[in-house]
Amino acid sequence: MLFDALDMLPESVRAKAQEEIKLLLAMLRERRRPRLMLYGRRGAGKSLLTNAIFGAPVHKTGAVRTQTGATQWELCQVGGRELDILDTRGVQEGSAPVEDDPAETAEKSLLAAVRKKCPDAIAFLVKATDVDAAIAEDLAILERVHREAARIHQVDIKIVPVLTQCDHLHPSDIRFPPHDDENDEKKQNVEDAASLLLEHLSVNAYLSRHIACDAVPTSALLFFDSDGKVDKRRDYRWNIDVLALKIQEILPDNAQVEFARLTQFRQVQKSLARRIVAAVSVICGVVAVTPIPIADLPVLASLQAAMITMIAYISGRELSLASSKELILALGGNVGAGYALREIARAILKLIPVAGDAASGAVAAAGTKSLGEAAIFYFIDRESLDFVRRHFKF
């Protein structure tokens, strides 16, 4: 439908718009589960971090003995949200895992897993209190595993350093978030540990080329009630949303949509949604520059409907144009009328040679951006329609 509408536009405009739209639609049509590898020694909190990202008890946590057995890709699923996790055996473990693993060592188990399937990103987990304890061997194993995955799959795999269990740092009786006071002892210890982790990674010439960001300090401690829901009174998660955003930014385009859905963190969802809004606004601006009055209206309407549908899907809705219709019809009233009047004015502007075309493109881009922001507020921020009407004028 969308590409049929483009046929009405001049070739120069149509070709550029088609190219941009294909990239955008690929995020939905070719979307797939993201693949995340969690690497670290036993007790670093790999399974706990998975639960914290999902906000659900998808992984068991072993309190004494190594829990995770054979390192293999596991489909984690909660409420339709899915993620392929490579929850590795703890490197430098002191005992055999509770679960079976035919591989002699954690490293061999890891190598076998990455040969079968390539991770989109690697989260290197180090417990805050162990950041300076025999980390050289951890890095050596990570380098060998990364080299093998990159060699076989011929991709650049980014590494996100993660400082876990920061709530264990001194003083341990203070929970997160840290105080804003620059002299806060807990905050300073966390910053020092994160800097030290990044320093260790920087020493390794190979790994340093694949580090995606500074070390992300976190606390993934949380508890669930009998229904598997997060117990809000015992939810000590801190900075998990920041970590999720860092991971989101380095994932392939076709894995980003599903990752944003599964995390349920508004910061992550809004970041991706605004990227989509910016892209669609630019495309609409390009389409609207065409000097044929009215001819571009079906294209713009289709693009804007697709944009709203994608934002609704990222928020957790089903993939359906019904979401787009829901918002546009619900806005109604003076907001809908105002948007319609702007579209009419834009069509009239196109009757003015050259300058009118440029103004028409600017109006279309601005209107699309406003509609996208309205969709973000409605679907992701879950604001009321009254709020959207008050804060957005088209």
Cβ 351 vs Cβ 293: under 8 Å: yes
Angstrom CA distances, 303 to 1, 10, 107, 288, 294, stand at 10, 17, 48, 12, 15
Residue 292 pLDDT > 60: no
pLDDT of residue 335: 47
**Gap between the Cα atoms of 189 and 135, Å rounded:** 18
How many angstroms separate the CA atoms of 176 and 222, rounded?
12
Pick from 16, 107, 97: nearest CA to 62: 97
User: Per-residue confidence at 5, pLDDT binned at 50, 70, 90?
Assistant: low
- CB distance 86 to 73 below 8 Å: yes
CATH number assigned to the domain with residue range 35-250, chosen from the 4 options 3.40.50.300, 3.40.50.720, 1.10.10.10, 2.160.10.10? 3.40.50.300
Q: pLDDT by residue (tens digit) across 324-370? A: 878 877 776 444 444 554 554 444 444 444 444 445 566 678 888 88
3-state secondary structure the chain: CHHHHHCCCCHHHHHHHHHHHHHHHHHHHCCCCCEEEEECECCCCHHHHHHHHHCCCCCCCCCCCCCCCCCCCEEEEECCEEEEEEECCCECCCCCCCCCCCCCCHHHHHHHHHHHCCCCEEEEEEEHHHCCCCHHHHHHHHHHHHHHHHHHHCCCCEEEEEEECHHHCCCCCCCCCCCCCCCCHHHHHHHHHHHHHHHHHHHCCCHHHHECCCCEECECCEEECCCCCEEEEEECCECHHHHHHHHHHHCCHHHHHHHHHHHCCHHHHHHHHHHHHHHHHHHHHHHHCCCCCCCCHHHHHHHHHHHHHHHHHHHCCCCCCHHHHHHHHHHCHHHHHHHHHHHHHHHHHCCCCCHHHHHHHHHHHHHHHHHHHHHHHHHHCCCCHHHHHHHCCC
Higher pLDDT, 102 or 202: 202
Domain extent listing, the chain: 2-29+268-391, 35-250
The Cα 58–Cα 167 span in angstroms is 22
**Helix 11-29 vs helix 253-263: crossing angle, to nearest 10:** 50
Name the residue with higher pLDDT: 266 or 63.
266
What is d(CA 59, CA 286) in angstroms, rounded to the nearest whole number? 47
Quick check: bond before 177 cis, omega within 30? Answer: yes
**Cβ contact 2:88 at 8 Å:** no
Best CA proximity match to 161, nearest among 118, 200, 204, 213: 213
Amino acid at 306: A
Amino acid at 171: P
pLDDT confidence of 106, banded at 50, 70, 90?
confident
pLDDT-based confidence at residue 103 (cuts at 50, 70, 90): low
Question: How far apart, in whole angstroms, are the C-alpha atoms of residue 282 and residue 352?
Answer: 21
Q: Among 181-185, 217-221, 273-277, 281-285, where is mean pLDDT lowest? A: 181-185
Return the residue matching tokens 């609207």.
288
What per-residue confidence (pLDDT) applies to 82? Answer: 87
End-to-end CA distance of the chain: 25
Structure confidence at residue 79 as a pLDDT band (50, 70, 90)? confident
Among 182, 148, 189, which residue's Cα sits nearest to residue 166? 189
* pLDDT, tens only, 15-72: 666 676 777 777 778 889 999 999 998 888 988 999 999 898 887 664 444 444 567 8
